[in-house]
Chains A and B, each alone.
Chain A
Amino acid sequence: MAELLSALFTWFVFPGFIFLLLCTWAFDWLDRRIIARFHGRVGPPWFQPLADWIKLLAKEDILSTGINERLAAILPMLSFAMVLAASLYIPVAGYTAAAFEGDLIVVLFLLSMPALAYFLAGWISGGAYGIMGGNRALLQYFSYEVPFLMAMVGPAILGNSWSISQIAQQQTGTLWYAFVQPVGFILAIIGLIGKLKRDPLDIPKAKSEVVGGSLTEYSGRKLVLWHLTMEMQAVLGIFLLINTFLGGAITAMVGLNILLFFLMAMVILLSLSTASVIYARLRIDQLAYLGWRVFAPLALLQIAFVVWMGG
């Protein structure tokens, strides 16, 4: 009984669903606040993300005619479920709901599926903006995903494991992998920006170009699921980078771990916000050029360096 209760607690409360939801709330608010401060604005109050979710939930759920209703409903749920499933395997300051050897690959797979669902959502929406947005999402996926995956291979080789907690454990007492392979770390952050479709890589949902991209035709509950998926993906992406590149904030002092973990998360969030503030949006062909001609070769070089060092 106690075992079951503790399992339920880790799945749903900490570091499971509720903790994740609170983090999503906090990170989303902080992100908007930081960007607003850069712009010279005040920014939203602390309850704004929650208010947005509730507002969208309460709104009428409309679908345009001719759209496959079942698919349109399944796609956001599926991507939300994928992201929630991924959250089980990502440790928070050493605590994890579930773990096994090889969970890094599962997490990478689960985190990349929403991009495909996003493409499909635009493709079936029937509107011109949705189709263009979906196409762009797919093109963008091919551009950022390869360098991102290659950047994640580095820590796995150094840590000699495909388990996230193992990789994090390996870094205690030694130099964090972000300092061993800085190029890989930067590429992983760029890949994360592309994955989250944030400025300056918000190409699939650029308002002045394709209105709302894939999500143009979505509203109400389905839209809030899409937003939650994206925002949770941001939190999980940041957590994943901490574990793989910054040693998962595991120190000898247990009480300090959580604090350090969030400090690191804030630093990565700040770098994401800064990137979105200082750059103009790229064009899709410019991103493809960068992805294949610059980022991918750099990631390969980084892997070669890691193999040479590890071997």
Chain B
Amino acid sequence: MSKVTIPIGPQHPLLKEPVAFTLTADGEQIVDSALRMGYVHRGIERLAQDRSYTQITYLVERVCGICSHVHTTTYCQGVEALLGLDVPPRGLYLRALLCELERIHSHLLWLGVLAKNVGLDTLFMYAWRDREIVLDIMEELSGGRVSHAVNIVGGVRIDLDEAQHQMVVEQLNRLAGRVHKHLNIVLHERTIKARTQNIGYLSAEQMREYCVVGPVARASGIDMDLRRDLPRPPYTELDFDVITHTDGDVWARTVVRVEETLVSLKLCQDILAKLPDGPVAAKAKRRVPTGEVVSRFEAPRGEVVYYIRSNGTDKPERLKIRTPTLTALITLPIQLQGVALADVSVVLSGVDLCIACADR
């Protein structure tokens, strides 16, 4: 059979967001692939230059529809460093709580997508149903299921009362049992292993060359997690494990993500147990003194980098956003080389693409 060109995207049942892959297949084997992104490029970096620091908080929330809170956290962290502002501990703890909830939500959503793509609809339904628990918690805390608008420069705008505290702890306990079940399926279900093992393999050396971050890198044995490596409260006061795996294939990435979900669940419990009293936000000045800062934070998909340069006015001179998906996208041509057409969906879902993030 001669070579066939197979378009995947910009619209395709496999993709949740527009991005285009042009695959060249020889029979069932992929011999070449080309990538085109930019379909959801909104020019957020340019837009930010015309907006005040307060407005940008809500703008960067729209970078990603899944990890929206992480983007505002990284941004606020950067601006607070420029202002020399100390956020009250309770504010930091609540911020971290939402970050971890978001990690759980993102990983569960991803698990569902992977399950759907390998044809195991049951796990897809289970994972997405359990994700609702997290979304309900977030709605209770912030009023929004996906976009929370919780962060403000100087702290957070929400507080937790006793009843909410109780409810969150109960729901998280319920969720922990469910996630253990998912982990059991992922670790032991033979058809899942048959579809995901030895697919999309990348060595630790390749991960370093391509500067890959997050669970994808950790699944190849790169021991990097900014929550631990760039310690700042409350993570300095909490005890948690960084999950790594050595297999470097899609299955390893699955295991890493599901186990990270459990770590995040434990972190949430710890945060709630140690939640200090006091105010949740400090007053921030409107004008930010001249300076520049590189702000990093561990998003569900890995390191998010914000570079902010201020010029003494109430608008930044430059705001640069680097999302973790970009680092994973660049490795896709290598991962796709030589895999069967049937495994393309598995490889693509394995890196957890967030195209809106990558395009900004």
Direct contact of A and B (CB under 8 A): yes
A residues near B (Cβ < 8 Å) are 35, 38-41, 128-129, 131-132, 135, 199-200, 202-203, 206-211, 277-286
Interfacial chain A residues near B14, Cβ < 8 Å: 207-209
Q: Does B13 contact A (CB under 8 A)?
A: yes
Find residues 322-360 in chain B having any chain A CB closer than 8 Å to their own CB: 340-345
Interfacial chain B residues near A210, Cβ < 8 Å: 341
B195-A209 in contact (CB<8A):
no
Give Cα A206 to B195, complex, Å. Answer: 14
Give Cα A284 to B194, complex, Å. Answer: 12
Within the complex, the shortest CB–CB distance from B123 to chain A, in Å, comes to 8
B195-A132 in contact (CB<8A):
no
Q: Does B233 contact A (CB under 8 A)?
A: no
Within the complex, the shortest CB–CB distance from A121 to chain B, in Å, comes to 17
Partner of A202, one of B119, B129, B189: B119
Give Cα A208 to B116, complex, Å. Answer: 8
Partner of B341, one of A40, A209, A281: A209
B7-A128 in contact (CB<8A):
yes
Interfacial chain A residues near B34, Cβ < 8 Å: none
Partner of B342, one of A129, A209, A279: A209
Partner of A208, one of B4, B13, B28, B192: B13
Give Cα A16 to B273, complex, Å. Answer: 69
Give Cα A209 to B340, complex, Å. Answer: 10
Also in contact, A128 and B5, with CB within 8 A (given A40-B129, A209-B344, A280-B195)? yes
Interfacial chain A residues near B189, Cβ < 8 Å: 280
Interfacial chain B residues near A128, Cβ < 8 Å: 4-7
A281: nearest residue on chain B (CB-CB)?
A: B119
Q: Ordered nearest first, which 7 A-B pairs have the shortest CB separation?
A: A281-B119, A280-B191, A39-B125, A280-B120, A208-B345, A208-B117, A208-B14
Interfacial chain B residues near A131, Cβ < 8 Å: 4
B28-A284 in contact (CB<8A):
yes
User: Given A207-B14, A211-B13, A283-B343, 11 other A-B contacts at CB below 8 A?
Assistant: A39-B125, A40-B129, A128-B6, A128-B7, A132-B4, A132-B25, A210-B341, A279-B191, A280-B118, A280-B189, A285-B28
Find residues 76-128 in chain B having any chain A CB closer than 8 Å to their own CB: 115-122, 125-126
B191-A132 in contact (CB<8A):
no
Also in contact, A206 and B121, with CB within 8 A (given A211-B12, A211-B13, A282-B194)? no
Give Cα A35 to B6, complex, Å. Answer: 32
B129: nearest residue on chain A (CB-CB)?
A: A40
A199-B119 in contact (CB<8A):
yes
B343: nearest residue on chain A (CB-CB)?
A: A283
A and B contact pairs by CB, cutoff 8 A, 5 listed: A132-B28, A280-B120, A280-B191, A282-B191, A283-B194
B191-A285 in contact (CB<8A):
no
B6: nearest residue on chain A (CB-CB)?
A: A128
B117: nearest residue on chain A (CB-CB)?
A: A208
Mask, B179-194, CB within 8 Å of A = 1, is 0000000000101101
How many residue pairs bridge A and B at CB < 8 Å?
80
Within the complex, the shortest CB–CB distance from A204 to chain B, in Å, comes to 11
Q: A40, A131, A209, A281 — which one has the most chain B CB atoms within 10 A of its CB?
A: A209
A281-B118 in contact (CB<8A):
yes
Also in contact, A38 and B4, with CB within 8 A (given A200-B191, A211-B13)? no
B342-A283 in contact (CB<8A):
yes
Interfacial chain B residues near A206, Cβ < 8 Å: 119, 342
Q: A135, A208, A281 — which one has the most chain B CB atoms within 10 A of its CB?
A: A208
A276: nearest residue on chain B (CB-CB)?
A: B121
Interfacial chain B residues near A211, Cβ < 8 Å: 12-13
B199: nearest residue on chain A (CB-CB)?
A: A283
B125-A41 in contact (CB<8A):
yes
Within the complex, the shortest CB–CB distance from B188 to chain A, in Å, comes to 12
Give Cα A5 to B119, complex, Å. Answer: 48
Interfacial chain A residues near B12, Cβ < 8 Å: 211
Give Cα A128 to B117, complex, Å. Answer: 19
Mask, B220-248, CB within 8 Å of A = 1, is 00000000000000000000000000000
Interfacial chain A residues near B340, Cβ < 8 Å: 283-285
Interfacial chain B residues near A286, Cβ < 8 Å: 194
Give Cα A96 to B125, complex, Å. Answer: 42
A199-B121 in contact (CB<8A):
yes
Partner of B13, one of A38, A41, A207, A283: A207
Also in contact, A284 and B342, with CB within 8 A (given A200-B119, A208-B117)? yes
A283-B126 in contact (CB<8A):
no
Interfacial chain B residues near A135, Cβ < 8 Å: 1, 28
Interfacial chain B residues near A35, Cβ < 8 Å: 121
Give Cα A194 to B4, complex, Å. Answer: 26
Give Cα A207 to B119, complex, Å. Answer: 9
Also in contact, A132 and B6, with CB within 8 A (given A203-B342, A209-B341, A281-B119)? yes
Give Cα A206 to B5, complex, Å. Answer: 18
B122-A38 in contact (CB<8A):
yes
Interfacial chain B residues near A209, Cβ < 8 Å: 14, 341-342, 344-345
A280-B192 in contact (CB<8A):
yes
Within the complex, the shortest CB–CB distance from A203 to chain B, in Å, comes to 7
Give Cα A132 to B192, complex, Å. Answer: 23
Interfacial chain A residues near B129, Cβ < 8 Å: 40
B124: nearest residue on chain A (CB-CB)?
A: A39
Give Cα A283 to B189, complex, Å. Answer: 15
Give Cα A211 to B6, complex, Å. Answer: 11
Partner of B195, one of A202, A277, A281: A281
A283: nearest residue on chain B (CB-CB)?
A: B342
Interfacial chain B residues near A283, Cβ < 8 Å: 194-195, 340, 342-343
